[in-house]
Structure 1
């Protein structure tokens, strides 16, 4: 039977979308096929479903997501009664449930629904669907005493109506009262109760949403600028010095369109990062001259300048009534929402209570979710040397919003802050260090000179070397000021890993540094090694690569079954290349008899059970290999790229292995999500290194 989870509420304004998104995240970690059902829907686009569909790549036909429109449901209930309404909705729910392992049900929203006793209707639908319930209670602008009472009453209401209540989540409480409320609710209910504080960034509209609501015209700005959250409004009418004192991070400056001085001054402050603003809104349907707009565009590229027809007072009234919404066009809000949910909800405990049936498949999305969850469980600090690179900054924002790890960015501090401000990226409390001016430079130079004295490196020479961001970042890892490093989005592989070879060096048990790619196929994850570092390893090195790759696979939840690949299987072939693989296989067996290994073996016999049944019928590895070790770089690199392109696999890596501390290289074509995944992997490697010490 399909497992389903029904997220509902007791009144409007509970910010339930945060919980619905968080539960969807949990479900997609556990199973491959997750369906969505909303029993009743308002006219117009469903913002949350569009977000879920885009974020989780849902293939579900939107026509199957909805039961009835509210007006249709109200008329049906009035004419034929609640039983008939429920019967129709149950039938439509089961049309979805039969095609999915688990269904997330989005309860009614208690807003302009014209339905009597909406809570009871949600409870009955949950029971008829066989769904477990997560009630959400809104605590915004309420006292702690009121929130406590409403939370307990919400549980009792759904429990008394026969619902299987998984947990209760209280949302949007005052941040300063959150800990007190959570402490008072602890052990007051027979089910877990988690308390989420109000998060201003979630209710803050974006510049794009404001532009649409006010019918504004975009004079300047790009998509990234329009996606910025507006956290405050500053109305400009005073002289420029007074306006500058009033600016706050993330504010929207609202000023008459003829005040060119305020426009230029605000954007100049943004350019200097003191503070970064969301944009400028011009009223009265006036705009500065072309020369002012040209100057504005050069001062703060990408920062929005919007023109509206209204005067300041009616515009202000509209602005204060706007509230940001989660939708497919606000992916940064989604990251904030998930970070909030994962910080304050025991996601491991909730996953166990949901106990969705495991599909036995590991999809790319499930693997990526697991990486973030594993990294978050024991936060580490990762240094990113390429602090002024756009993709790195965007990845840093995702990592910070999701609480995956702590970060240090390298580069001139003013340049990093300006680039982040131009992108609308919030770096929070990220540590920024300029290697050229850092107080660490002297001690790092002495350390590097000691390490490379045998190569004739003096302190004076070392002083220049350690100003390089990759050398500086590597020394931070070596000296314990960071747990790992990720670079390579704009640097070559050699520039990224050479400092690691010189400073961190290999583990005592490793003869070489090698790499693996995690190849995320449609239904499983395979580990390929070595596809990036060693051109033509000998038998001894190949055995080392196999052992390292098996260890890495196990760290990330892939049970290692090693296939030592060759152009022949078993004893059918001979020659130097096959003999090398055969010798390497025997070396692994002698060093690590606990590992399952087969070799030499051809790729098809390693991964395809029907071929394995013919070629190696009694092998515990053939047909089900998870770690595939290639005989040389030429074979490995071409194979991983061929599989990536022809099979649509997601290649995560290269992940370096064999170093004493984790340093990982990025492709110069790496996407933001690739960087996020690699940083998470690096943090997990750091956890393993710490546990081994």
Structure 2
């Protein structure tokens, strides 16, 4: 039977989209096919449904996600009664449920719905759908007594109407006393009570939202600038010396368009990083002159300058009514929401209460979820040498929001902070001597050029490379390079792992590791694997990134290492040693190399399942295996595929990635004493997040 959960509220302003997104995240970690159903919806675009479709790659037809529009429901209820309304909604739901293992049901929003007794209607719908209920109560600006009363009343209301309540959520709670009171209430209710604090970054509208809501004209600004959060509004009227101290980080400056002094002063302050602003909004339909706009563009490239025809007062009234929204166009907000959800809700407990059964299939998203969960179980510190690269900074924000690991960003402190501010990325970077407070993941910046560690690292590198003629003077220059500096941090235990390669070449990333960290005693070679996440399983490809033409001994070592990596990440290793022939059907130097490597694997690790030489189709397709290599314990069900050379492996992984729509996670380096991983220079933000998570897990394995 399909399991469904009904997320609902008791009024407006509860911010339950955070909970709906979080529950969807929990469901997709466990099962492959999750549907979404909103029984009643407004006749307007639905940003949350768009976000769920985009983020979770839903193939569910959009039309099936909605039952009826509110106006249709109101007419139907008035003419034929509530029973007929419920009957039609149930029919729509079952049209969805038959195709999915679980369904997330989104309750009504209490916003001009035209429906009487809305809470009771939500309860009735949930009961008729057979859905467990997760009520969300708004705690914004509420006292401790009010929050407790609202949670208790909501619980009583839904249980008295026959609902299966699995937990209660108090959301947007600002006061620490109110949060503690709500948590304490959980000891007196049969279900757990979770408390989510108000998150300013979620409540803050983006500059793009200001543009959309006010119909503002964009005079200057790029997409990154328009994605910045407006954390505050500062209204300019005073003279510049009085005005500048009023600026706050992330504020949107509103000033009449003829105040060139305030416009240039604000942008100059942003350029200096004191403080970085979200942008400038000009009122009264005034435009600065061409010279002023040209100077503004040079002072703060990408920073938005907007214009509206209305005056300051009506514009301010509209601004203060704006709140941040979760939608598909701003994935950063979704990561913030998930970070909030995961930090304050016991995911394991709630997953158990959702009572969904783990799928046998392993989808790309389920594999990525597992990486995130494992990486945060024991928090490690990963160094990112490319501290001013946009994708790295955006990935860093996700890593910190999701509490995946602590980070060290390499680069000049002022440059890293300014680049983050320009991108609207909030990392809450610690100062050089600042001690982290609280349980969350943290980040700090280290500048290799000025760090006190530079002299220590130079001495160490000169000693390690003395046999190559390295002197202290040479080493002092070498260790200022971010790749070498980051590698030395890992070697010296000042970081647990390193990830680089978004802008550096593979050689620049791994050469320092070869020189400094070196291979593990049991490994004869450093190699790599990709986790190839297909629609229903995960395969491990090795080596597709490092070794051009390994000999038989090296190929055997790659196979053994790849099997260990696969097992460590939950993939049962069945090794296929790939060639252009299967079994004894072919001869030649290339086939003989693979045949010899296969025998070496059997000699060194008789416990491993391995077969070869074998062609790719015989390795993964049971029907082909039955003909070409019958009786093999590997053929047709291989999970670790070892390619004979880099040319074959690299082309194959890219062909499968692009043609089959597989998600390629890696390359993951193996054979080093401590974890250093390389990125593709075309890596996306999520690729960087996954690679850092893998690096943190590798560090956990080594106990560093």
**TM value normalised by structure 2:** 0.95
* CA distance, structure 2, for counterparts of residue 572 and residue 268 of structure 1: 73
Query: Partner residue of 2:420?
Result: 420
Query: Partner residue of 1:27?
Result: 27
Query: Partner residue of 1:333?
Result: 333
Greater Cα shift, 592-601 or 663-672: 592-601
Query: Partner residue of 1:361?
Result: 361
Query: Partner residue of 2:497?
Result: 484
Query: Partner residue of 1:166?
Result: 166
**TM value normalised by structure 1:** 0.97
1:134 is paired with a residue whose SS is strand
* CA distance, structure 2, for counterparts of residue 265 and residue 372 of structure 1: 43
Query: Partner residue of 1:659?
Result: 672
Instruction: Please say if 1:72 is aligned against 2:85.
Output: no
Correspondence for 2:455 among 442, 452, 458: 442
Unaligned runs of 5+ in 2: 430-442
Instruction: Please say if 1:461 is aligned against 2:490.
Output: no
* CA distance, structure 1, for counterparts of residue 159 and residue 330 of structure 2: 35
> For the Cα contact (< 8 Å) 1:272–1:414, is it kept in 2?
no
> For the Cα contact (< 8 Å) 1:561–1:624, is it kept in 2?
yes
Superposition map of 1:621-660 within 5 A: 621-660=634-673
Query: Partner residue of 2:194?
Result: 194
Query: Partner residue of 1:433?
Result: 446
Residue 231 of structure 1 deviates from its aligned partner by 0.6
Unaligned runs of 5+ in 1: none
Cα deviation code 1:310-344 (max 9, x no counterpart) = 22222222211211211122221111101101111
Superposition map of 1:579-618 within 5 A: 579-618=592-631
Runs of 4+ in 1 over 6 A off after TM superposition: none
Change over 3 Å in CA distance of 1:393–1:178 after alignment to 2: farther
Greater Cα shift, 3-12 or 75-84: 75-84
> For the Cα contact (< 8 Å) 2:77–2:84, is it kept in 1?
yes
Residue 594 of structure 1 deviates from its aligned partner by 2.6
Change over 3 Å in CA distance of 1:396–1:178 after alignment to 2: farther
Change over 3 Å in CA distance of 1:160–1:595 after alignment to 2: farther
* CA distance, structure 1, for counterparts of residue 602 and residue 416 of structure 2: 50
Superposition map of 1:223-372 within 5 A: 223-372=223-372
* CA distance, structure 2, for counterparts of residue 607 and residue 178 of structure 1: 56
Query: Partner residue of 1:548?
Result: 561
* CA distance, structure 1, for counterparts of residue 608 and residue 189 of structure 2: 47
* CA distance, structure 2, for counterparts of residue 33 and residue 645 of structure 1: 23
Greater Cα shift, 367-376 or 268-277: 367-376
* CA distance, structure 1, for counterparts of residue 332 and residue 269 of structure 2: 24
Query: Partner residue of 2:437?
Result: none
Correspondence for 2:633 among 588, 597, 620: 620
> For the Cα contact (< 8 Å) 2:147–2:178, is it kept in 1?
no
Residue 31 of structure 1 deviates from its aligned partner by 2.1
> For the Cα contact (< 8 Å) 1:231–1:251, is it kept in 2?
yes
* CA distance, structure 1, for counterparts of residue 351 and residue 610 of structure 2: 34
* CA distance, structure 2, for counterparts of residue 72 and residue 670 of structure 1: 46
Cα deviation code 1:508-537 (max 9, x no counterpart) = 111110000111222221110011111222
Residue 86 of structure 1 deviates from its aligned partner by 0.8
* CA distance, structure 2, for counterparts of residue 643 and residue 322 of structure 1: 45
> For the Cα contact (< 8 Å) 1:181–1:195, is it kept in 2?
no
* CA distance, structure 2, for counterparts of residue 569 and residue 81 of structure 1: 69
Query: Partner residue of 1:60?
Result: 60
Query: Partner residue of 2:436?
Result: none
Residues paired across the two proteins, number: 691
* CA distance, structure 2, for counterparts of residue 363 and residue 551 of structure 1: 21
> For the Cα contact (< 8 Å) 2:207–2:225, is it kept in 1?
yes
> For the Cα contact (< 8 Å) 1:388–1:415, is it kept in 2?
yes
* CA distance, structure 2, for counterparts of residue 477 and residue 246 of structure 1: 42
Query: Partner residue of 1:156?
Result: 156
What is the aligned-residue RMSD (CA, Å)? 1.6
Cα deviation code 1:36-75 (max 9, x no counterpart) = 1111111211111111112222222221111111122122
> For the Cα contact (< 8 Å) 1:507–1:658, is it kept in 2?
yes
